[in-house]
Amino acid sequence: MQKTLTLKSREDRRLRAGHLWVYSNEIAVDKTSLRDFEPGEIATLCAASGETLGQVYVNPQSLISARLLTRDSKIAIDEAWLVARLTDALALRTRLYDQPFYRAVHGEADSLPGLVVDRYDQLLVVQIGTAGMEALRAPLLQALQQVFHPETIVLRNDIASRELEGLEQSVEIVHGQVAAQAEVLEGGLQFAVDPIKGQKTGWFYDQRENRLAVRRFAQGARVLDVCSYVGGWAVNAASAGAADVLCVDASGSALEQASHNARLNGVEVRTKQGDALQSLKELQAAGEQFDVVVLDPPALIKRKRDAKHGSNHYRSLNQWAMRLLGKSGVLISCSCSHHLSAAQLQDVMLQASRQQGHDLQLLARGQQGLDHPEHPAMPETAYLKTVVAHVRHQ
């Protein structure tokens, strides 16, 4: 019989509104002690009144001490349950895309908290981020094979969030064999990615729709792609007729891959290895100018307490990017930091433009791709912002 986890009075309101997380300070420790639970153990969640709210998995070591799996208190959390959830997730993606290249599972938004699955045709790259999902690893792997019938499954459990859950980091091939590179087909282009050593799962599907924006401005343009990784933005620009494309990234291996991906599509890009901000300064000192600059840095604000420092970093990047634009240029600025809202990113760009006396015209806004759905009750799941702006030098 499952143990019961009971909330304090009135702490059930957020969950009734749709949220899926329970924090440690919301638990009625006089009724249930977190120390009684093993990491990943499934429990029945109850309001202070005793009313059953659903089933959760528990981790007494984490600030997020429980995550809601289902509001059905009677259903078994087993392989069949996982198959049903994965089948629902797959049905949505097959409606969205005509080729099997997408994020197949996006955690809480797909009612599978702690789980990310990216699909590269017959290859699945899986990230298990919580003790609760780790406890379901065996039935999960069986369910993935039953729903997707992949040739290969790779576990990229080398993410920092596992440490917060008391889990070790590792990379494993748990089914089949994987080649050194996987293929992504996106927007009529071909990209080779590394599912074992590449960033995250090897590719960033979340920018899929936003990357198309650079095509509109690329014809005959000089394009700078900062934090280019393996060339997603750059190859789109070059394939759309850019006169010159320069990729900047701190990783030499990523830049080699960007050049390779350009060649796969019959185009060329130049590369420059270095820190993003320092490289922008060096390019400005060298008298370089561009018609389009793309800024797609990693998350610069990982914790709320780092918001001020991170915002200043975003502003500096945007300032130096604007200095590299000609009299009339386009800046595509992105942030994947949850703690920087879309409005704040826009304000950062405005501040950067006004400090240099430039006019800013906002042309478009973007968010994470359709295969990265947001949970409407969980603002934490809305993380990616992209702003396309016209910068006019006065």
* SS3 sequence of the chain: CCCEEEECCCCCHHHHCCCCEEEHHHECCCCCCHHHCCCCEEEEEECCCCCEEEEEEECCCCCEEEEEEECCCCCCCCHHHHHHHHHHHHHHHHHHCCCCEEEEEEHHHHCCCCEEEEEECCEEEEEECCHHHHHCHHHHHHHHHHHHCCCEEEEEECCCHHHHCCCCCEEEEEECCCCCCEEEEECCEEEEECCCCCCCCCCCHHHHHHHCHHHHHHCCCEEEEECCCCCHHHHHHHHCCCCEEEEEECCHHHHHHHHHHHHHCCCCCEEEECCHHHHHHHHHHCCCCEEEEEECCCCCCCCHHHHHHHHHHHHHHHHHHHHCEEEEEEEEEEECCCCCCHHHHHHHHHHHHHHCCEEEEEEEEEECCCCCCCCCCCHHHCCCEEEEEEEEEC
Token duo for residue 375: 């949970």
Active-site residue identified among 46, 227, 334, 336: 336
Domain 204-393 sits in CATH at 3.40.50.150
Give the pLDDT of residue 284: 97
CA Rg value for the chain: 23
Q: Are 375 and 20 in contact (CB under 8 A)?
A: yes
- As annotated, the residues of the chain forming the CATH 3.40.50.150 domain(s) are 204-393
Q: Reply yes or no on whether 336 is catalytic.
A: yes
- As annotated, the residues of the chain forming the CATH 2.30.130.10 domain(s) are 4-70
CA distance 254 to 39: 37
Q: State the virtual CA torsion across 92, 93, 95, 96 in degrees, nearest 10.
A: 120
Q: Are 315 and 340 in contact (CB under 8 A)?
A: no
Token duo for residue 96: 């969205």
Record the pTM.
0.95
Superfamily name with CATH number, domain 4-70: PUA domain (2.30.130.10)
CA distance 376 to 272: 40
Where does residue 374 rank: exposed (0-12), middle (13-18), buried (19+ CB within 10 A)?
middle
CA distance 222 to 245: 6
What are the pLDDT tens digits along the chain (394 aa)?
899 999 999 999 999 999 999 999 999 999 989 999 999 999 999 999 999 999 999 999 999 999 999 999 999 999 999 999 999 999 999 999 999 999 999 999 999 999 999 999 999 999 999 999 999 999 999 999 999 999 999 999 999 889 989 999 999 999 999 877 899 999 999 999 999 999 999 999 999 999 998 999 999 999 999 999 999 999 999 999 999 999 999 999 999 999 999 999 999 999 999 999 999 999 999 999 999 999 999 999 888 888 888 899 999 999 999 999 988 899 999 999 988 999 999 999 999 999 988 999 999 999 999 999 999 999 989 999 999 999 998 7
Amino acid at 108: E
The CATH T-level fold of domain 79-182 is Transcription Regulator spoIIAA (3.30.750)
Give the pLDDT of residue 303: 82
Residue 349, number of CB atoms within 10 A of its CB:
24
- As annotated, the residues of the chain forming the CATH 3.30.750.80 domain(s) are 79-182
Please state the φ and ψ torsions of residue 359, each to the nearest 5 degrees. Answer: -95, 140
Please state the φ and ψ torsions of residue 262, each to the nearest 5 degrees. Answer: -60, -45
Q: Give me the count of residues in the chain.
A: 394
Q: What angle do CA 314, 319, 324 make, to 5 degrees?
A: 125
